[in-house]
Every structure is written in structure tokens, then in C-alpha cells.
A and B are shown apart, each in its own frame.
Chain A
Amino acid sequence: MEWETVIGLEVHAQLSTKSKIFSGAATQFGAEPNTQACAIDLGFPGVLPVLNAEVIRMAIKLGLGINAEIAPRSVFARKNYFYPDLPKGYQISQYELPIVKKGFLDILLEDGSVKRINITRAHLEEDAGKSLHEDFHGQSGIDLNRAGTPLLEIVSEPDMRSAKEAIAYLKVLHSLVRYLEICDGNMQEGSFRCDANVSVRKKGDPKFGTRTELKNLNSFRFIERAINFEVERQIELLESGKKVTQETRLYDPNKNETRSMRGKEEAHDYRYFPDPDLLPVAITMDQIEKVRAELPELPQQKRQRFIDAYALSSYDASVLVTSKALADYFETVVKESGNQPKLAANWVMGELSGALNKANLEITESPVTAAQLGKLVQRIADNTISGKLAKTIFEAMWNGEGDVDAIIEKRGLKQVTDSSAIEALVDKIIAANPAQLADYRAGKDKLFGYFVGQAMKESGGKMNPQQLNEVLKKKLNA
């Protein structure tokens, strides 16, 4: 039996405002418990919410970024349920009339094709606080600093067909919210959280299977693992004649499994209704156009420009636009290199990314500046140094030994391209190895490499390899 996976994703992006969505309390991460929870966040009697203008601007930005319709009128509703991290006994959210309606994002599949993932809606809501489960004499502690932090919940259609597609979509969305500067994307701190709705069906079946909702997914790796585990679990159930139960399941990264959340059998009845403390949000065309005019170049547009202007492959372009900082870095390298985009891309995605990963650094923390790397690329392109030597120089730059030219100078690494000097050296090598010369001439072609090695060793690796090859061939075959 062939099974098809169906995935829809709900992303909660914390908006990077200074103050909360409905109060003037600060939103900084990591403050002492309950020091950023004001009377409004704590749900004191008589307090009232007033909407933060910035969250509207950010929601419009996202709407434009996902090519969506922005609702001229949207309504805040109350979602009623009791939980200690929810001080008012209801969450202010949007239900029937969200601020952002239908949109889409295009993702790049591994085979190089583009797939469109539709987005159902994005709505504004307030975050809840946190329950801390360390033992306080058998009790839990409640920290309401996070309560009231603005969230945009971005809900996709069930358009993804594998964990890989889900991750590709999430990465595109993750990059978009950071480009738009509406969310810092920090998954560890919970600024960018994801719930996945997963089901399977027989290939070709027009109907969706019963889905489960996976929670507690706080890294791309865990999301991929959780989905894969869940798909396997569902297929196993179905193949053994059992049924999938519609339920919420928690992913346990330690055991790499999902498990059912108890107490969910009791169906929730959230009793949504329009929040009478808030009025409908009206957004005008003028407001939208003003935000549009301020939008930065978005990843999709930038990617296309990289393909067109720099003749990069679609894959390279996609990688380089993952973050704005990386794309900016790349463009500086290109500029400083005297317009060597292909070589610049190879260096940024290869040597630099590798070194950053190894040192666990962000691109913005790179010890080698984009200008420095650009100069290095230029020296490769103008044959001052070989690619191999460039790696040594890169290492020196990483360790803070200065700019490329200074290192070449200091270490005497300049590549020898003077043909008379190369010829003199080749003559010397050939004269010193008569036996090898005889064997080579007798048909042992492999010895060609021996001569290259000797020449490189003699010159300290500074010979221009193409020129050396040519001269050697000429002299050995003479």
C-alpha cells in the first residue's frame, strides 16, 4: 500500500514590539518572574485593553509578505477557557474575522521545482504566561511576564506532503518574518513556534485521513522528526486495521516519540464571542500602501534578483537569501571582489559557512568581514593566489592576522606566474630526477603527478597550477 502524508502547519510568531499587544508592559525575554506583568496582563478587576499600533503595522507587513488580502475590518474575539497561565480566563484572539486572509508562499523542492503552499489566514492574539513545574511544595508557579505578548498565528492549508516540505515552508516563513523585522525568529526562546496537523491517506484518495495535532515543536530538527514519527505511527495503525484518533499529541524530543495528551477527551467549548472591550479594527488602503512603501526587498524577490543579476543557480540563490544578513554579506563580497558572484557564492556557502557552523557563530558575528573575504576572492580571480593557498589565507584571516594582501606579503605567498621562472624551476626538477624522466618517457604517465608535486614542493605551493602543467607537459614530452 502506498501512503500519502498530508501536513498543515500553524505557526505562532511573537511580534517584536517593545510593549505588549494590549498594555504598556515590556516584552523583553528573560526578566524576573512577574516583573513585566502589569495590572492589565494580570487581569485585575476593571482593567481594559488598548491595542498597540505597531502590531497592526506588523500584521500588514506579513500580509503583504505572503501575498495575502488584508481585511479592511477585523474583529477581536474572546476564547474562553480556564488555565492558570491565562489570567483573564479568556484569550483575546481573532476568530471569524482575522486581519490577514488568504495568501501563499512558494517553496523550493529538492528536485529544484517550486511548490506553492497556500496560507488560510493569519490572525493577531495575545500570548499566555508560563507554568513552571519545579516543585513548590507540590504546587506550580505561574509567571505572567509573557502574558499579553503579541502573536501572529499563521495557518497554512494542508498543502505539504512530507516532513521535508513542511521544513522548507517553515524555513521560508522563518526567513520572511525576520526580513520583515516583525519577529526575531528565536525558536529556543519560543518566538517562533509551530504546531503540525498530520494525517495520512491512501495515495489517490480524495479524502483526508483523520489528523492529529503535534505540539511542543521548538526546532526544525524536532519538527521533522516528530512528523516522521507520527506518519510512521499512523501508517502502522492503519495497516494493522486500527483507526487514528483525532487528538493532540505532545512530541518528546528525548524519546523521539509523540504521545497523546491526557484530559483532551473532554472536548473544549471555547465560547468565542466578539470582545466587547475592543472595537472592530479598520484598515484603510492608505495604511496598507504606506506599509508597502516601507517594505524591504523580500526573500523571494531577492532570490530572483540573485539568479538574474549574478547568474547563480536557483539553489545557491535560495541558500544565500535565507537571512537578510547573509544576503547582505554575500553582496558585499561580490562588490569587493570586483564582481565575481560565482566564486563569492562558493566561498560564502563553503569555507565561510563551514567555519561559522563549526564555531557556532552567526553571520553577523563572523571574524572575517565581507570586505576582507571579497578581497580574498579578488586575489583568487586575478591569479595572485591559488585556491589552495586561499584556504590557508582564509584561516589566517579568521585568526585575525589581517587583510589578504598583508598576509600574502608577510608569508611570501604570492603565486608565481612569471613563465621564465616557472621554466627555470621545471628544468631544475627534470635535471634532478633522470630516472623518473626515463620511466615517464618509457610510458609511465602516472609519474606526471610526481613532477607536479616536486615543483610545488620546491616553490612552496606558489606556482600557478595551470602554467606549471603546461610547461611540464611541454618539457617532459620534448
Chain B
Amino acid sequence: MTLTAADVKKIAHLARLNMSEDDIAFYTPQLSNILHFVEQMNQCDTSHIDPVANPLDLSQRTRPDKVTEPNQREAFQKIAPEVQAGLYLVPKVIEDEA
């Protein structure tokens, strides 16, 4: 897949990365090359193969329904960029973006 500048812009937005025109010009051919490279995968026949998401053929373990985590708000928020009244602050959230 050869990506266009528009493709890279779209991907960057999905990944919430800022891309200047220079950045786009820098990344577009690199990303295209990487995609060409990984497309070698398509040479092999995998029709009879099950996809592997995890190397272990195990199933999910569960834990008992117990409250084990104490309130550590103070410790956690000591390293937060901006907090007030126990809340993390961010630029105004417009409800409709949800």
C-alpha cells in the first residue's frame, strides 16, 4: 500500500499526533516503505491457519469479587499535570464529542 499525504493525515489524526506539512513529507514515504515491506506476508497461504492472538493456549483466569484497592488519590494526583477538588482538569469537554 502506497500512502498519500491525505492518508497519513488521517492516520495521524486517529492516533492524535500533530503533523506539520514537513512531518507529512517525512513520514509518508517511510510508512509506505514499511507497509510494502510487511506485505510480504501476503505471499504465503494462511487459509488453513487459525490466527494467534497470544502465544499461550490458555483461557482467562478470574479473581474473586473483593475490594482490594485502597484510596490512593493523593499519591496518584501528586504527579498529575493539573487537578482541582480531586478532579483531573482538561480543556473544556464539549458533551457532543462523546
Contact = CB atoms under 8 A, between A and B. Distances in A.
Answer yes or no: A and B touching, Cβ < 8 Å. Answer: yes
Interface of A: 17-19, 23-26, 32-40, 42, 44, 50-56, 73, 75-76, 82-84, 131-133, 136, 138-144, 250, 261-264, 269, 271, 274, 276, 278-282
B73 A17 contact: no
Given A84-B90, A131-B93, A17 B69 contact: no
B96 to A, nearest CB: 4
A141 B86 CA distance: 9
B58 to A, nearest CB: 5
Residue of A17, A50, A141, A142 with most partner-chain B CB within 10 A: A141
26 contacts: A18-B67, A24-B67, A33-B85, A34-B73, A34-B77, A37-B76, A39-B72, A50-B62, A50-B63, A54-B64, A56-B62, A82-B16, A131-B93, A136-B87, A138-B92, A140-B91, A141-B87, A143-B87, A262-B97, A269-B14, A274-B53, A274-B54, A276-B54, A279-B58, A279-B60, A281-B59
A254 to B, nearest CB: 14
Contacts of A133: 92-93, 95
Residue of A24, A269, A278 with most partner-chain B CB within 10 A: A24
A19 B66 contact: yes
Nearest to B51: A274
Contacts, number: 136
A33 B86 contact: yes
Interface residues of B, number: 38
A140 B60 contact: no
A142 B82 CA distance: 11
Contacts of B65: 17-19, 52-55
Contact of A36 (B59, B60, B61, B71): B71
Given A141-B88, A141-B89, A269-B14, 19 more contacts: A18-B67, A26-B67, A34-B88, A36-B71, A38-B69, A42-B76, A51-B60, A53-B64, A76-B60, A82-B16, A84-B88, A131-B95, A139-B90, A139-B92, A140-B92, A262-B96, A264-B96, A280-B59, A281-B60
B98 interface: yes
A53 B53 contact: no
Nearest to A150: B65
Nearest to B95: A133
A250 B59 CA distance: 40
Given A33-B86, A138-B92, A269-B14, A278 B60 contact: yes
B68 A19 contact: yes
B44 interface: no
B18 interface: no
A269 to B, nearest CB: 6
B42 interface: no
User: Per DSSP, are chain B's interface residues mostly helix, strand or loop, or mixed?
Assistant: loop
Residue of B64, B68, B69 with most partner-chain A CB within 10 A: B69
A37 B58 CA distance: 29
A282 B59 CA distance: 6
A274 B95 CA distance: 29
A139 B58 contact: no
A86 B70 CA distance: 21
A23 to B, nearest CB: 6
A50 B94 contact: no
A269 B86 CA distance: 32
B6 interface: no
A26 B65 CA distance: 10
Residue of B59, B65, B84, B90 with most partner-chain A CB within 10 A: B65
B56 interface: yes
A261 B71 CA distance: 36
Contacts of B59: 73, 279-282
A84 B93 contact: yes
A258 to B, nearest CB: 13
Given A50-B61, A269-B14, A24 B69 contact: yes
A325 B72 CA distance: 38
A425 B13 CA distance: 93
B97 A24 contact: no
Contacts of B85: 33, 136, 141
Nearest to B84: A136
A195 to B, nearest CB: 12
Nearest to B62: A53
